[in-house]
Structure formats: C-alpha cells, structure tokens
A and B are shown apart, each in its own frame.
Chain A
C-alpha cells in the first residue's frame, strides 16, 4: 500500500470533506490504485527533461488594461444562499 487511511483522511480534511470509515477505506484503496497506476511513469528516466507545466506551447496571452462594465450587484448576489442587500453572507469565521 502506498496510500494509508491517514493520508486519505488528511487529504479529505484539506478538501473539507467528511467520510465514514467505510467511505474512507474505499477512498484509500481507490487513491492507492490510481497512484500505483500513475507510478508507471516513474519507470522512465526524466532526469534531463524540463518539467512541462502546460501541454500547449502558447505563451504571453495578455489582456489590455481597459475597464469594462461589471456585473450588477443584484445579479452578482442572486445565486448566493445567504446575503444582505450588498454583501454575501458566510457562516461566522472565527479567526482574526
């Protein structure tokens, strides 16, 4: 096994996901299978090869610094589950 339950629980925590023990076991196994499969790539010697960050060879796609109208606030807030007239509301954040 490459991935333990502890690893899976850590990743779930980072993603703010909660799993039952049974679900966590399943996730652990699936993650392990995926990583073992991907691990095949490590058989290749890539020592001398620059890591590729993008599969397409494009570069410098820029936008001019020109102002365009924003979304009306009413529309921006429309899909929010909780809101005031002017703000999004989220559950109380305790930090700070």
Chain B
C-alpha cells in the first residue's frame, strides 16, 4: 500500500528596500557600484562606531505590514544575530528577534483548483544585508562591502503553503505589493527579492510535522517552483525507500536542476541573539500608523476589483493588467480616453505587453504614450481603420515615433466603407471565381471566407470587414 504524502512549506522572503541610504549609515544603496566605494566606518564595522537607524526603513516596513494585513508592534527592538562570515565585518548582523516590527498578517492567493488559500504571515522584521563574497578568484575570497548595511525586510510565513504553485503565487503577490508600494524593485535575478523555503512532508492526515530541510539560492520565480517540487519529490522517495529526512540546508543549483547540501560548519548555527545595545527601541504610535496608512497607494487587489466594476472587464483581464503598477496606470489612462475599455484592455494586454517583452523595454521608456494608443483605438472605434490595419499602424508608431492619425493620412490607410466601391470590387471577384461562387451557392459555407480574403487582398486590407460581410452575403446569394 502506498502512503499519500502532503507537503508543508514555509517561506522566508528578503526584500531590499529602495532607500537612498543604508539602514545604519549615510552610504548609498546603489546596486552594481564599483566595489567598496559605498562604504564608511559604520558599514565596514570599524570598532567604536555607532549605527543610526534610517527613518525610511521603519516607514517602509510599516507600509509592507499594513499592505499584508499585519498588526504593527507598538514597541519593537533590534537584536544582534552573532555569526562569523567574512562579508559581515562586525561579526554580527543587526536584525530583530522576539519583538519584530510587524506580526500576524496574511495574504490570500488563488490557485488553479479554484479554492482560495489564506497564507498567514508570522512576522516582518527589519535587518541589514551582508556584503558580497566572490569565491572563484584564486586562493582567496574577495569581499565587497557595498551591500553591507543595505536595508532589508524579512517576511516570514507560517507553514501554510502546500504546493509549489501556492508558493509561486504567494511570492508573485509579495513582489507585486512591494512594487506597488515602491519600497523594493522586486528583481529576483539581481537579488533585491530573495526567497528561502522550509519544506517537510507528512502522510496525509498526520498532525505531527515531518523533519524539514531549507532550500536557499532560488533566484527566479521558476526556480522557486522547480526547487520546491524537486525537494518534495526527493523527501517522498527517501521516505518510501525507508530512509529519513535529515534537517539540513540545501543550495539550489539551477543549471543542474538539483539541490545540494551546504557543506561544512556554516550550518551548525547558534546565533545567540540579544537586544542590540547600540540602538534604542522603536515605538510606533497610532498617529504614525494613521499617517502612513493615508500615504498607502491603491493596492493591486483593490485596483483589480475596481477595473472589473468600473470598466466591466473580465477577471482575467483585470488580473493581468494589475500584475505591475505601471501597466495598470497605463491601461487606466487609455481606458478613460476610449469608448470601449475592453478594446483598450486587449490592446494593452496583447500588443503593448508583447512589444515590451520583445524589446525588453520598460513601460516608462515606451514611446507610445497612453494618449497615442487611445487615438489609435479611437480610429478603430470610428470605423476609420480596421483592427488589422491598426496593428500595422501600431508597428509604424513604434518604428517612426509618429502619431496614428498622421500615419493613416500619409499612407492612405483609411478604411473603405464606401458601398459602391466595395460592390464593384465584389462583382469583379464574382466574375473571376465562378466555380467558387457555385460551390457557395451549393451550400459550401466555407467558401465565404475565401471571398472575404480576396476582398481584403484586393483592397490591401482597407475594406471595412463588417461592410464586406454584409455585401458579400447579399451579392453571393
């Protein structure tokens, strides 16, 4: 008899905060600066220096807490986490331990099985990032302290996640929220958003948790899902073969599609947390929370629901359009300028997102502004051009940076709606293809499409499709 297993997964997500300066000193947080140029005695961990907390870090952490339904602790304390690693020159990381700034939140995700899933957030705390070690240089390790002291929030879930899909959805939601809040750029590849997973499995129905392993180093959404599926399968096979899961830390190797145990003593941690004597407690009063709540932007879930109501969009559209804030804003600007918001949604979802993807371009740098796209959609809505021609005009807009109206005039693309002209065209086609006409009259409906195609070809795509349909039906009778 085979035992059915279920997975129990908890995620720890680290998000680098987009502040100007580091968490405890006034050095820049800029990514990819020349090594060891954004450093000072504080982030270098020189003896006798004192950390001074960046107020933005507290504000950003509270924003994230409010956006994820957390309660904000009135009294929170920084703590030292002690361990030795060359890229952490102080010999300890300043973090938070038993009094984190945010607690007891949750997010709701929607897996494909249709059942919504609540994932509880245990805590969000603030801490500093470590520097960067470069290992593959001769017989030394090279250390860059630029990243040391870059502010992080760590968001920790309860072990509520059961599948790789749920983990992926949760992570996507976290990314979406930090981007909407503009507190983190959410770039997993560059490491500004990082995710570790604690995974265990147990027979279905069993209450006791199995032994867990921790997987680190999953630096893309795809890798997170792949690594979790890999680890669930590995543990299951181990148990089925009569083996035991060992509590250990694994590193995901994306190239090999495998996880390898981390070697050496680094695993055996005893962090000896204690309250950080160099930093005073953070006290967050209700007025401060109210003030920050007022500054919160409209969040993706709310915008999605509003798009459904205000623009009568299908849920799928509203969901796709709100994945990123700039797309949502872009769509909304277009939608307000046209008659049919659904048409605007199609254009943004299909054409705009495709081009951005192809050109690896950000919406902010995209040459076609919302007013331009709205003008183009207006031309379709007023029957001046067809959807097909509009796509050609769109391509020219991107190439030549011209306005749609101008392109249509210059290239004489105005749709032919003139019945006389279209009738003449269709009559000549009836003369040209007597066999096909006969087939149609004998009941072969498919041939109708052939005539539509011929009209479009002859008119270079400019014939108004609806007019063509109506006239063809009449004249082929």
Known contacts A67-B20, A82-B140, A95-B263; is-contact A54 B28 (Cβ 8 Å): no
In angstroms, Cα B85 to Cα A95, docked, is 10
Q: Which of A53, A82, A84, A96 has the most B CB atoms < 10 Å from its CB?
A: A53
For the residues of B in contact with A, the DSSP-based class is loop
Collect the chain B residues with CB atoms within 8 Å of residue A90's CB: 86, 133, 140-141, 143
A67-B21, A89-B141 are known; give 14 further A-B pairs, CB within 8 A: A54-B275, A58-B280, A62-B53, A65-B19, A66-B21, A71-B39, A73-B37, A76-B39, A76-B44, A86-B35, A90-B140, A93-B85, A93-B135, A96-B262
CB of A34 within 8 Å of the partner chain: no
Q: Are A67's CB and B26's CB within 8 A?
A: yes
CB of B408 within 8 Å of the partner chain: no
CB of A19 within 8 Å of the partner chain: no
A90 to chain B, nearest CB (A): 4
Closest 9 CB pairs of A and B: A53-B275, A68-B26, A62-B55, A90-B86, A87-B142, A88-B143, A65-B56, A63-B52, A89-B140
Known contacts A66-B21, A76-B44, A77-B36; is-contact A60 B251 (Cβ 8 Å): no
CB of A94 within 8 Å of the partner chain: yes
Q: Are A65's CB and B55's CB within 8 A?
A: yes
For the residues of A in contact with B, the DSSP-based class is loop
In angstroms, Cα B21 to Cα A91, docked, is 30
B167 to chain A, nearest CB (A): 23
CB of A70 within 8 Å of the partner chain: yes
Collect the chain A residues with CB atoms within 8 Å of residue B144's CB: 87-88
Question: Contact mask B53-90 → A, CB, 8 Å, 1/0?
Answer: 11110100000000000000000010000101110000
CB of A2 within 8 Å of the partner chain: no
CB of B442 within 8 Å of the partner chain: no
Collect the chain B residues with CB atoms within 8 Å of residue A77's CB: 36
